[in-house]
Structure 1
Amino acid sequence: MPELLVSLALLAATLLFAVLRPRKWPEAVVAVPAAGVAVVTGEVTPAHAWAETQELLPVVGFLAGILLLAQLCADEGLFRAAGDAVARACHGSPKRMLGGVFAVAAGITAVLSLDATVVLLTPVVFATAARIGARPGPHVYASAHLANSASLLLPVSNLTNLLAFAASGLTFTHFAGLMALPWLVAIGIEYAVFRRYFADDLAAPAHDPDPEEPPGVPLFTLTVLALTLAGFAVTSFAGVEPLWAAFAGAAVLGVRALARRHSTPVELLKAANLPFCLFVLALGVVVKAVVDNGLGDAIARFLPDGSSLPTLLAIAGVAALLSNVINNLPAILALLPVVTPMGPGPVLAALIGVNLGPNLTYVGSLATLLWRRIVHDHGTEPELREFTRLGLLTVPATLAASTVALWAVLSL
């Protein structure tokens, strides 16, 4: 018991610092020392810590590659072009704009990860709403919700997906095939709720965007992105880590950006966000200490075994609850050792829980906390009451319906 309390204290300190980030210091500032304390004090053995680090290294390497790729796509104007397309297609209708934001956010989240949606798309959403004179609320909240809800589709869509993908034993295409219906169901429910909840905002008058020279579609960037996505599937079939496909796509765009002097080596290194990658590795060690000292056994005793619908619903519900208590990244790290022996179905059910659950509270995922800071920087303060109310309207429904959809696909 004392070991568990110490491990939980280290995890709490790590997550609290990651949430508050005083002076915008990297999350690794506390996470790395916490991992060191866990090893030195015997909360986790050096062998277990090293094994956890080795297991996470390919996932973290992929994360660095996809973050760099997303930033290079933004530098090439991909997000600005998407915002311009939405502004022109909606013809001054906030309702049509909401549909456009849902489509763009779902696509970007699926292919370039939820971080791209939060960090790179949210400012574009603000600018697009201003162009047509629409109230930004529905569209900005949509970017936050879809960063979580639309991250179910591909292994590359979320760091939690990468961890679950590595544990599931599935190929890239099999993973996507199983999660396609739950992904569509979650997005459909979110859209229906947003249309009703923000009915007054969406009915407010707006106008066609002012005519201006369109930014142009970065065809070269789209081609590289499509080839990179195909590379994810090819490497999966070949038994090669998908991080090499991510780095190949980032290398092509990176060399082009350097040659055209659109970026510098320092800027590219910064885009890979190596301090955050180090945070993930250290967090994995801290969570390993918590799991080894009792949390893993507690989860195993509580969760039912098997792949029946009630079991999948229970796993998804526990995962969602856990993500709102200790954040979704530690939650999936804690759940995977328990659910992986049950097969891919329970692993994917846990993934549904940790991806959809964070829409209920700010602390559910680091991406939501980052979204809150970005919204604040644009002169808007998201209301906790409204965020929570939206979460209560969407999370239980999407959680249950997406899990049922997963069970249906698994039953085929």
Structure 2
Amino acid sequence: MKKSLLIPAALFLFLPLLINAQTPENSESSVKYPQFQFKGLLQARYLESSGKNVDVMGVHHSTGEAVQSSFDIKRMRVGANTKLSEAAEVVILVNLADFKSDSKGKVLENAYAKYTFNKYIALIGGQFRPAFGIEELVPVDIIKSFDFSNQYYEFGKNGWTSFQIGASASGAFEIGKIPIDYAFSVLNGNGKNQEMDKDNGKQYSSRLVFGLSKKHKINLGLNSGIGKVFKEKVFAFGADITSDFKLTDQFTFDLQIEYKQGTNSNLYFSLPPANRTPDVDDYQMRGIYFLPNLRYVINYKKLTALEFSCRYESFDSNYKVDSNVRETYTPMISLEFGKAYTGRIEMGLQIDDFDRNIPDTSTYDNTLFIIQFQCRL
């Protein structure tokens, strides 16, 4: 079967679920549509680099002229969710902070329509974050660290994660007593805000999440993907596990572990033909991270909780041909104000250690001190 037929075939398997979809309990006649929900997020930061001749963006300067302290607006997001009916919705999200630099291919993040038939299947079309790991399913404003991992952004450059244009089917079902969430996606694979696909190839990905323990919220996720980029076959796969343990009424401990590996076609095609091997499979990336987080609920006046986390990540963007492992440690303390991170003050470090430093690039050892203020509505 051709890959272009995989997604329609998968949808056909779920056709009986659509036909047998039950009528929602709340009839639309009693609810007025459309309904609008507006959202916003501000993340402002102070950055200070302590690396020798390394600026706050992590770039080494052999001349010594590096900006090593700066205030920054990381994100200024504005979004709207519009419920057209009980089953249909349209989601829009923009990041106005992207205007501070070249905004081409930026700013617009989410722009998709979703139709939910029942719990078994929902369809999405437009620009969205396809399900291919833990981080793709969590908004950046409620993650347990300053930002997403290095592997998240690198796999995004290769069309598997971050904001992509395409279509997806997702839902949930049970096998025995085990709940399972699934998602199938077909994507252009060349990032957000593109006029058209860069070639005729598409990238197909899938994700399954198995609920292993309801009490401790232990979930096992499996990801896989195949596709073509400029007629070259590419792949990606990964596995992840999450857990959330309530130690006492005030203390909770949660843990995320995620591994990914795949073709680094973005790197392969960025090199001149004379400077690369003839086989795209020689260029592969892989990474793993551990993110433990301890939460202490205070509820004292306006202070809701304290959180302590320290993510460790090992990532190599080209481990077969030119290996240069990047190890990143991100210890952080967070003060939460209000519910669901309405207000948040974070302080900590991002410590990067490369096997091999490359002068005048961002591939250079550095320690970055960060204070980040977050406000969401």
TM-score category by the smaller chain?
A: under 0.3
TM-score of the superposed pair, with normalisation by structure 1 = 0.21
Q: Return the index of the structure with the highest Cα Rg.
A: 2
TM-score of the superposed pair, with normalisation by structure 2 = 0.22
- Name the structure where strand makes up a greater proportion of residues: 2
Higher RCO (C-alpha 8 Å, min separation 6)? 1
